[in-house]
């Protein structure tokens, strides 16, 4: 008998077990194609729900990856294997377009959103958002939870709105900067921050927060969600997915979650 | 080092401050636990041992999440601290130090424990028979002989604190000047357009700092060993 007999038999057994497990996992649903979507995290629930409608009929499995648009754009720039990118602002889409990393012919705006001031559900704060409103007084010794205003779209919109209203300077040093808008949302939902600024759709998705007031759309740059195919994604399914996202059925789902679909 | 911008200095100083505090608060506890694990047999020892090592194997974000749930303003411990002592650690640099301290704790205990275990227990027994109290034995025999391990533990834990990311960002967020330590600052730079150059500068600072910590540890351990050998002779 060869000296390595035991090792080999163990390896064979391992390989057999691995094969069986792999086959079992494949047993569920086998899709003809895979598409990878990098999407702004604020789209999480809405896109998940829309994708369910898309996958079976199209026989395409969609693998969504949610994060801050900034994080996703940088990952795509570094060669991440994304087929479709949906950003929460035009700047990060432009950033990839300038570097010829997205197919600009496939680019279009899917929807818009609104910015809101939120508080924990149990909080009773009330205010009206107008120039110079008492945001810093309302914070007390707490902090204002926003997405990182240097990079993340939701944070940039929040900063723009507060600058327009002339209260940015009073709260700039008192921010909690989430790495994406959902991190900012959660700090308020857990009561760690007394106030936060997120998308209206985030506030709808989280029962533990309450909308205190909505920012007027003219206080910040228009919120748009552009979508496009990533250069090098030779998957025809990506085009099919983009078409679906612009369809009436997908729009209905987005609107159900509080987005305003672009016609 | 004069080439650093004021912001870089601020980040560097904050990182060192956070790591230093984390070491200061965990050292006494780590020495106690290490001595306990090295010299005393008690019921549930393996459980304590496992608990001590938990931060080494758990995802850091889990530690950060539990810290937020426990020590946040709404957490059971955090609310009590705030109410009775007026201490708030959530979103403060002190909270970052707590996160770093916990992540570095196993490293510190391991190094100190190994060092204590390598001491000839006969020396302690001899001192006891000569009438020294347990406390005196601990401070005059165990601690000085375990010094190389203490130094290694302190520096390993300090270096771990400098690199701590997951628990910190989850627990105290990423606030410039308050909780944005080196790794968080590097991460932030990788998130903004054209932040690569700054991310690289900060990364080099991190490398230099880590190498310095390791070299210092080497040097101090060697000096401590030479001293204790000199005493034996």
CATH of the domain at A93: 3.40.190.10
Residues A103 and A119 in one domain: no
- The C-alpha atoms of residue A60 and residue A51 are separated, in whole angstroms, by 10
A96 found inside a domain? yes
Element (H, E) at B17: helix B6-39
- State how beta strands A115-120 and A195-199 pair: antiparallel
Q: Which residues contact A82 (CB under 8 A, 6 or more apart)?
A: A36, A37, A38, A65, A72, A75, A76, A230, A233
Q: Which residues contact B4 (CB under 8 A, 6 or more apart)?
A: B12, B205
Residues A208 and A166 in one domain: yes
Residues A185 and A250 in one domain: no
Q: Of A192, A195, A196, which to mutate for an interface test with B (greatest number of B Cβ within 10 Å)?
A: A192
Whole-prediction pTM: 0.79
Q: How far off is chain B from A257, nearest CA to CA, in Å?
A: 27
Interface check for B74 against chain A (CB to CB < 8 A): the answer is yes
A2 found inside a domain? no
| Smallest CA–CA distance from B68 into chain A, residue | A192
A83 found inside a domain? yes
Cβ atoms of A31 and A61 closer than 8 Å? yes
Range of the domain at A155: 115-219
B residues 81-110 closer than 8 Å to A (CB): 90-91
pLDDT at B186: 94
- Per-residue pLDDT tens digits for A186-242: 999 999 999 999 999 999 999 999 999 999 999 999 999 999 999 988 678 999 999
DSSP symbols for chain A: --TTHHHHHHHHHHHHHHHHHHHHHHTS---SEEEEEEEEGGGHHHHHHHHHHHHHHHTEEEEEEEE-HHHHHHHHHTT---SEEE-SSHHHHHHHHHTT-EEEEEEEEEEE--EEEEEETT--------TT--HHHHHTTS-EEEE-TTT-HHHHHHHHHHHHTT-HHHHGGGEEEESSHHHHHHHHHTTSSSEEEEEHHHHHH-TTEEEEEE--GGGSSPPEEEEEEETT---HHHHHHHHHHTSHHHHHHHHHTT-EE--
CB contact under 8 A, A150 and B68: no
Q: Select from A70, A173, A177 the Cβ nearest to the Cβ of B174.
A: A177
- Per-residue pLDDT tens digits for A92-133: 999 999 999 999 999 999 999 999 999 999 999 999 999 999
Query: Would the pLDDT of A23 be above 90?
Result: no
Query: For chain A, what is the domain count?
Result: 2
Residues A130 and A254 in one domain: no
CA-closest candidate to residue A260, choices A43, A153, A110, A160:
A110
Residues A170 and A197 in one domain: yes
Query: Would the pLDDT of A4 be above 60?
Result: no
Q: Which residues of A touch B (CB under 8 A)?
A: 68, 70-71, 74, 95, 142-143, 148, 150-152, 173, 175-179, 183, 187, 190-193
| Smallest CA–CA distance from B192 into chain A, residue | A151
Residues A148 and A229 in one domain: no
Please enumerate, as own/partner, the contacts of B139-145 that have beta carbons within 8 Å and a separation of 24 or more: B142/B35, B142/B39, B142/B116, B143/B31, B144/B228, B145/B115, B145/B119, B145/B228
Q: Select from A151, A175, A191 the Cβ nearest to the Cβ of B175.
A: A175
- The C-alpha atoms of residue B186 and residue B168 are separated, in whole angstroms, by 14
Residues A69 and A97 in one domain: yes
A236 found inside a domain? yes
- ipTM reported for the complex, 2 dp: 0.70
> Whole-angstrom distance between the N-terminal and C-terminal Cα of chain B?
43
A205 found inside a domain? yes
Residues A126 and A208 in one domain: yes
Here the tokens at position B232 are 């034996």
Element (H, E) at B155: helix B147-163
Residue with tokens 């308020």: A188
> Whole-angstrom distance between the N-terminal and C-terminal Cα of chain A?
74
- The C-alpha atoms of residue A120 and residue A190 are separated, in whole angstroms, by 7
Task: Specify burial of residue A21 (Cβ count, 10 A radius: 0-12, 13-18, 19+).
Answer: exposed
Q: Which residues contact B117 (CB under 8 A, 6 or more apart)?
A: B38
Residues A250 and A192 in one domain: no
CB contact under 8 A, B174 and A143: no
Q: What is the pLDDT along chain B (233 residues), one digit of tens a residue?
A: 558 899 999 999 999 999 999 999 999 999 999 999 999 999 999 999 999 999 999 999 999 999 999 998 888 999 898 888 888 898 899 999 999 999 999 999 999 999 999 999 899 899 989 988 888 999 999 999 999 999 999 999 999 999 999 999 999 988 888 999 999 999 988 888 778 899 999 999 999 998 998 898 889 888 888 877 765 54
A93 found inside a domain? yes
A180 found inside a domain? yes
Here the tokens at position A177 are 């900067």
Residues A227 and A212 in one domain: no
Residues A69 and A192 in one domain: no
Interface check for B188 against chain A (CB to CB < 8 A): the answer is yes
Residues A38 and A99 in one domain: yes
A25 found inside a domain? no
């Amino acid at each position: 008998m060869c000296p390595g007999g035991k090792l080999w038999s163990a390896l064979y057994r391992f390989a057999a077990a691995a094969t069986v497990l792999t086959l079992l996992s494949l047993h569920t649903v086998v899709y003809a194609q895979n598409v990878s979507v990098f999407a702004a995290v604020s789209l999480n629930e809405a896109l998940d729900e829309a994708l369910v409608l898309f996958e079976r009929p199209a026989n395409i499995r969609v693998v969504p990856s949610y994060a801050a648009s900034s994080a996703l754009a940088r990952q795509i720039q570094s060669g991440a294997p994304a087929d479709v990118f949906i950003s929460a602002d035009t700047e990060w889409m432009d950033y990839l377009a300038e570097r010829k990393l997205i197919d600009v012919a496939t680019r279009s705006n899917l929807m818009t959103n609104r910015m809101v001031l939120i508080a924990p559900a149990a909080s009773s704060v009330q205010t009206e958002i107008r120039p110079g409103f008492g945001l810093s007084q309302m914070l007390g010794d707490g902090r204002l939870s926003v997405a990182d205003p240097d990079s993340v779209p939701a944070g940039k919109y929040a900063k723009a709105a507060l600058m327009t209203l002339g209260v940015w300077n009073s709260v700039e040093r008192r921010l909690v900067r989430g790495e994406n808008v959902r991190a900012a949302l959660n700090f308020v939902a857990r009561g760690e921050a007394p106030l936060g600024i997120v998308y209206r759709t985030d506030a709808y998705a989280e029962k533990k927060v309450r909308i205190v007031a909505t920012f007027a759309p003219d206080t910040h740059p228009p919120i748009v969600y552009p979508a496009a195919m990533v250069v090098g994604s030779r998957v025809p399914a990506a085009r099919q997915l983009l078409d679906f996202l612009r369809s009436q059925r997908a729009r209905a789902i987005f609107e159900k979650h509080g987005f305003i679909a672009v016609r | 080092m004069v080439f650093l911008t004021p912001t870089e200095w601020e980040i560097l100083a904050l990182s060192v401050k956070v790591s230093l505090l984390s070491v200061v608060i965990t050292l006494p506890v780590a020495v106690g636990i290490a001595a306990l694990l090295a010299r005393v047999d008690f019921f549930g020892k393996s459980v304590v041992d496992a608990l001590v090592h938990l931060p080494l194997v758990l995802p850091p974000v889990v530690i950060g999440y539990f810290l937020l749930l426990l020590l946040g303003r709404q957490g059971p411990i955090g609310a009590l601290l705030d109410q009775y002592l007026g201490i708030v650690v959530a979103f403060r640099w002190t909270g970052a130090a707590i996160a770093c301290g916990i992540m570095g704790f196993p490293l510190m205990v391991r190094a100190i424990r190994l060092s204590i275990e390598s001491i000839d227990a006969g020396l302690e027994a001899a001192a006891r028979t000569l009438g020294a109290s347990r406390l005196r034995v601990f401070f005059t025999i165990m601690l000085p002989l375990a010094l190389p391990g203490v130094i290694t533990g302190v520096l390993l834990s300090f270096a771990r604190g400098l690199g701590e990311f997951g628990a910190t960002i989850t627990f105290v967020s990423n606030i410039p000047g308050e909780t944005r330590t080196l790794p968080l600052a590097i991460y932030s730079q990788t998130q903004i357009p054209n932040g690569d150059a700054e991310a690289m500068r900060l990364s080099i600072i991190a490398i230099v700092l880590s190498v310095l910590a390791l070299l210092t540890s080497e040097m101090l351990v060697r000096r401590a060993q030479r001293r204790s050998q000199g005493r034996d002779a």
